[in-house]
């Protein structure tokens, strides 16, 4: 078998760069203040009960707070929020400083303003998965009424839908 077809981290990244994914920001309240990160691994798990999942790097700055949080916020970003997505993806950024607009929401979860939709979920479990953890949360409330079109991530860049 050719070496470039063997399973490696680079192969996985190369294949998933071709997979267009919606962009979300996950938030939680930490002991030292709010934490959050950009995620493209968001998935609906179950309708009854309403469950969602996302992956988070075990070495990320947000993981210690997510590891202890009882609730998380999930925010679906719009195409007008490329800079917000980049801020929450940037290591070392002060993600909740202006111009990020947010407020404390239900269960103390940081809720971002101006997103297409948001949910607050009660963390049900955290599953080790290689260098990441898969978090499963049960949705307790949310708001799907934001306006606009979704932000996508494809080929290593934030993109807009094309008609």
pLDDT (tens digit per residue) in 121-156: 999 999 999 999 999 999 999 999 999 999 999 998
Work out how many domains the chain is built from and give that number.
Answer: 1
Distance CA 14, CA 60 (A): 21
Q: In sequence order, what are the residues at sequence separation of 6 or more whose Cβ sits closer than 8 angstroms to the Cβ of residue 58?
A: 128, 131, 132, 133
Is residue 43 a part of any domain in this protein? yes
Band (14; pLDDT cuts 50, 70, 90) = confident
Judge whether 65 and 73 are in contact, CB under 8 Å.
no
Q: In sequence order, what are the residues at sequence separation of 6 or more whose Cβ sits closer than 8 angstroms to the Cβ of residue 161?
A: 79, 149, 150, 152
Is residue 103 a part of any domain in this protein? yes
Q: In sequence order, what are the residues at sequence separation of 6 or more whose Cβ sits closer than 8 angstroms to the Cβ of residue 8?
A: none
Distance CA 22, CA 77 (A): 8
Per-residue pLDDT, 3:
67
Is residue 89 a part of any domain in this protein? yes
Is residue 5 a part of any domain in this protein? no
For residue 45, the domain's CATH number is: 2.30.110.10
Distance CA 131, CA 120 (A): 25
Domain that holds residue 70: 22-155
Q: pTM for this structure?
A: 0.93
Measured from the Cβ of residue 19, the count of other Cβ atoms closer than 10 Å reads 10
Band (1; pLDDT cuts 50, 70, 90) = low
- In terms of average pLDDT, the best of 6-10, 52-56, 88-92, 156-160 is 52-56
Is residue 162 a part of any domain in this protein? no
Distance CA 39, CA 59 (A): 15
Judge whether 28 and 36 are in contact, CB under 8 Å.
yes
Per-residue pLDDT, 18:
85
Helix (H, G, I), strand (E, B) or coil at 83: helix
Burial level of 28, CB count in 10 A (0-12/13-18/19+)? buried
Q: Say which residue the tokens 């493209």 belong to.
A: 40
């Amino acid at each position: 078998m050719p070496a470039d077809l063997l399973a490696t981290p680079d192969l996985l990244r190369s294949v998933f760069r071709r997979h267009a994914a919606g962009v979300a920001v996950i938030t939680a309240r930490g002991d030292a203040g709010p934490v959050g990160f950009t995620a493209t691994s968001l998935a609906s798990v179950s309708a009854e009960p309403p469950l969602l999942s996302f992956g988070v790097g075990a070495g990320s700055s947000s993981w210690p707070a997510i590891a202890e949080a009882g609730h998380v916020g999930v925010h679906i970003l719009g195409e007008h929020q490329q800079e917000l997505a980049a801020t929450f993806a940037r290591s070392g950024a002060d993600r909740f400083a202006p111009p990020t607009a947010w407020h404390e929401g239900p269960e103390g979860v940081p809720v971002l303003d101006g997103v297409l939709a948001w949910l607050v979920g009660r963390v049900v479990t955290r599953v080790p998965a290689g260098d990441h953890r898969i978090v499963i949360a049960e949705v307790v409330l949310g708001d799907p009424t934001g306006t606009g079109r979704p932000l996508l991530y494809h080929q290593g860049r934030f993109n807009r839908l094309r008609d």
